[in-house]
Amino acid sequence: MKKLLLGNEAIARGLYEAGVKFISSYPGTPSTEITEYAANYDEMYAEWAPNEKVATEAALGASVAGVRSFTAMKHVGLNVAADPLFTSAYTGVNGGYVICVADDPAMHSSQNEQDSRHYARAAKLPMLEPSDSVECRDFAKIAYNISEKFDTPVLLRTLTRVAHSQSLVELYDREEREIREYVKDPSKYVMNPGYGFKRHFVVEKRLIDLKAYSESCPLNREELNDTEIGFVTGSSCYQYVKEAFPNASVYKIGLSYPLPMDSIRAFSEKVKKLVVVEELDPVFETEMRAAGIRVDIGKDVFGLIGELSQVKIKKAMGIDTGDVRTFDEPVPPRPPVMCAGCPHRGVFYTLSKMKLTVMGDIGCYTLGASAPLSAVDSTVCMGASISMLHGFNMARPETANKTVAVIGDSTFLHSGITGLTDIAYNRSVSTVLILDNSITGMTGHQQNPATGYTLKMQPVPPVSLEKVCEAIGIRRVKTVDPSNLKALEAAIKEELSVDEPSVIICRKPCMLLKYVKAKPAFKVDDEKCRGCRACMKLGCPAIRFENKKAVIDKQQCVGCGLCTQLCAFGAIGEGK
Amino acid sequence: MKNTSIMIVGVGGQGTLLASRLIGHVLIEKGYDVKLSEVHGMSQRGGSVVTYVKYGEKVYSPIVDPGEADFILSFEAVEAARWIGNLAPEGKVITNTHEIYPMPVISGLMAYPENVSEKIAADAEVISVNALDLAEKAGSGKAVNTVLLGVMSKFMPEIEESAWMEAIEKIVKPQFVELNKKAFLLGRAHQ
């Protein structure tokens, strides 16, 4: 029986069938669902780690202990995990170890468009790239065989269009595996200079073996058809090429590092025109050119930015794809917004009103950067709000009373604690707001160490954010309810006025959590509304203006009551 | 046989994913090769959302490109205008007439275009329906997705009504099955 599986669900299935026993990840779009689906199988232990570095190390530990282990992360998560990644190439594995990295070309939900294929090259690790859900499942399983055969961690790279597309997959049974014996071996696992230097020779020798494997393995294959034109491609681009040019010859790359250069060269000699189709950087093209293989069409027409597709590939190659309809008026864009009732809204309204400089972070609260709140000055990476605030305030101490950092609960535990330690240790007069909405929101509601539940919904003692801050050396730690705008503003004013580091924890659960019950929608009294637009400054999707009066959409309003606090005329009342 | 491409477009939170799951289910039962593609994450927070459904004998790309959609199923009026370039020359637009203002309109930076479906209809086949009305008639404004699916189902004659009903029974949570069946049939009966 075939089932329609999301790429991520298919990878989870592959892990199950491959007998994987240990999974540790940190959520990140588009990788998150792999670990969520994996957690549904009782045979596999699965957890959320506080960050990708911890997850990668935990999974390496499980591999060294002798079980098949796994971690998944988004592309920028691999930056966090880069330290263990590079040295795990030296130690190799005991039980098979696969690291999944999900790239996000076109930045559907990311802060950059990096191409993780460079990591395979830099860390000298083999990389597999599935192009649909069947391959997600199959490649995940093959990755474990490669890992154990060559004694190496294996990178499995997906893209948004692979991870978040569904296609049909036949399901197979799980193959249980005995735990491998653990033997103490410092020369393999203690990477001090003496042992590590010797392991580098092993890494280089392994790459030579992997190159030979890449030439012969079925992951890389030639599909010889019409020889006028031949494509070298892999991952989602393979599907686009097959759709756009069903009769062309294709060399499909599944094991993308090390590349099967001899086979590609042989293919190039069979076709008249050689076209390399890859998203983002010219990784294949550069290596092919360096190997002396002629490339007739490549990045010169396809470009370095965003996603490709069947029509984009045709167009880039100068093929007419016909006219399309247009709508002859400007269509207003529909950017994502904070939900009605979002506990972050009051915070950003207040920061904007106080005209503060705000070092932002990664999460739903990135949306505080959009109009009309327009409250965020910087967003770089997980945890950067706090460390950047420290540097900013050290460089400009005179504006420290007008500058704050804003970070979510999960992001704080991911990599905000170290930044806060810098503030406490080096005594910058900095004010940090932790927006604790009791969940990891943007990636779709994952538990974290502060929520009191594990991935498999086991209750656990939650991390106390207050105590963590105090233990680091922050003496002023305050907790406020961000739905009380007056109290919130007073707390921020007070902490900005003192000459020492402080933390304000703004605590209110995400409105989308099941246990948070919506209140009846609020109503605007037409008689009382003067059309002053004060309520519009909240950027609430439930409030709009009609005939110069505010109107509340009863489908969307959840009765959070922020707007009533802004109305000077008492025009907004509770609904029934 | 040529593959069929459907685009489901709407606003994050409108239930476009349930619609695509129901379509996926009936198509697999019919023995088609099926691919679906959706984008999660940022786009769910009240932003524009797009789901692609493609089926036929063999489907490669999961993406529906400009000029390729046989159906655009639009959950909100202006979303149909946003994606009209994706409609195939002979394609059909099935659109909800309900308007949800995006933030640039709410904050007064831009106007919401007037009479969107009439304007699209000048150049394409459009079936407009007040899906929110019908959904509320069925019992809940949340069933807009199955109402619209019901409207589209009329144009997929290869799939019997019973197959859709079975999909709803299998995929929708038990307590919402009757509501969604009712909503679907109201949509299917829409003239």
* C-beta atoms of A108 and B39 within 8 A: yes
* C-beta atoms of B45 and A337 within 8 A: yes
**A269 has a pLDDT exceeding 80:** yes
pLDDT at B42: 60
Which residues, in sequence order, are CB contacts of A303 under 8 Å at separation 6+? A316
* C-beta atoms of B47 and A337 within 8 A: yes
How far apart CA A221 and CA B88 sit, in angstroms, is: 34
Asked if A2-216 and A221-316 have one fold, the answer is yes
Out of B33, B39, B108, name the one closest to residue A168 (CB): B33
Architecture of domain A2-216: 3-Layer(aba) Sandwich (3.40)
* pLDDT > 70 in chain A, percent: 100
- DSSP 8-state symbol, A416: I
**B122 has a pLDDT exceeding 80:** yes
| Per-residue model confidence as pLDDT tens digits over A16-53 | 999 999 999 999 999 999 999 999 999 999 999 999 99
Average pLDDT over residues A230-236: 98
| Per-residue model confidence as pLDDT tens digits over A394-412 | 999 999 999 999 999 999 9
User: What's chain B's average pLDDT?
Assistant: 93
What are the structural domain ranges in chain A?
2-216, 221-316, 344-507, 523-573
pLDDT at B52: 96
**A139 has a pLDDT exceeding 90:** yes
Closest CA–CA distance from residue A423 to any residue of chain B (Å):
31
| Per-residue model confidence as pLDDT tens digits over B43-85 | 567 889 999 999 999 999 999 999 999 999 999 999 999 999 9
Closest CA–CA distance from residue A98 to any residue of chain B (Å):
24
Give bridge partners of residue A441 from the DSSP assignment: none
Q: pLDDT band at residue B16, thresholds of 50, 70 and 90?
A: confident
pLDDT at A560: 95
pLDDT at A1: 76
**B108 has a pLDDT exceeding 90:** no
* C-beta atoms of A334 and B79 within 8 A: yes
pLDDT at A575: 77
Backbone angles phi, psi at B64, to 5 degrees: -100, 115
Which residue has better confidence, B110 or B12? B110
Locus of tokens 């439930």: A542
Closest CA–CA distance from residue A234 to any residue of chain B (Å):
13
Average pLDDT over residues A229-248: 98
| Per-residue model confidence as pLDDT tens digits over A471-508 | 999 999 999 999 999 999 999 999 999 999 999 999 99
**A239 has a pLDDT exceeding 60:** yes
**A124 has a pLDDT exceeding 80:** yes
Out of A309, A338, A555, name the one closest to residue B141 (CB): A555
Q: Which residues of B touch A331 (CB under 8 A)?
A: 78, 81-82, 113
Chain B residue nearest residue A308, CA to CA: B63
| Per-residue model confidence as pLDDT tens digits over A315-368 | 999 999 999 999 999 999 998 899 999 999 999 999 999 999 999 999 999 999
How far apart CA A208 and CA A224 sit, in angstroms, is: 27
For B41-157, where are the E strands, in sequence order? 48-56, 69-74, 87-96, 125-129
Q: Is A505 helix (H, G, I), strand (E, B) or coil?
A: strand
User: What's chain A's average pLDDT?
Assistant: 97
* C-beta atoms of A326 and B84 within 8 A: yes
| Per-residue model confidence as pLDDT tens digits over A194-223 | 999 999 999 999 999 999 999 999 999 999
Q: Select from B88, B40, B33, B35 the least CA-distant residue to B61.
A: B35
Q: What is the widest separation between alpha-carbon atoms in chain B?
A: 49
How far apart CA A50 and CA A200 sit, in angstroms, is: 30
* C-beta atoms of A240 and B36 within 8 A: no
CATH class for the domain made up of A221-316: alpha beta
* C-beta atoms of B41 and A536 within 8 A: no
pLDDT at B13: 81
Q: In what order do the strands lie in the sheet with B69-74?
A: A2-6, A165-170, B33-38, B48-56, B4-11, B69-74, B87-96, B125-129
Domain A344-507 coded CATH 3.40.50.970 = yes
DSSP letters for A85-139: HHHHHHH--SS-EEEEEEE-TT-SS-S----THHHHHHHT--EE---SHHHHHHH
Domains and CATH numbers, chain B: 4-188 (3.40.920.10)
Q: In this structure, are residues B7 and B17 in contact, taking their beta carbons and an 8 Å threshold?
A: no
Q: pLDDT band at residue B106, thresholds of 50, 70 and 90?
A: confident
Closest CA–CA distance from residue A367 to any residue of chain B (Å):
9
Please, is A193 exposed, middle or buried when counting C-beta atoms within 10 Å of its C-beta (0-12, 13-18, 19+)? exposed
CATH class for the domain made up of A523-573: alpha beta
Q: In this structure, are residues B187 and B147 in contact, taking their beta carbons and an 8 Å threshold?
A: yes
| Per-residue model confidence as pLDDT tens digits over B123-147 | 999 999 999 999 999 999 899 999 9
Task: Enumerate the H helices of A310-438 as residue ranges.
Answer: 310-316, 344-353, 384-395, 409-411, 417-426
Q: What global pTM score does this model have? A: 0.97
Q: Is B185 helix (H, G, I), strand (E, B) or coil?
A: helix
pLDDT at A442: 87
Give bridge partners of residue B125 from the DSSP assignment: B92
Token representation of residue A473: 């050396």
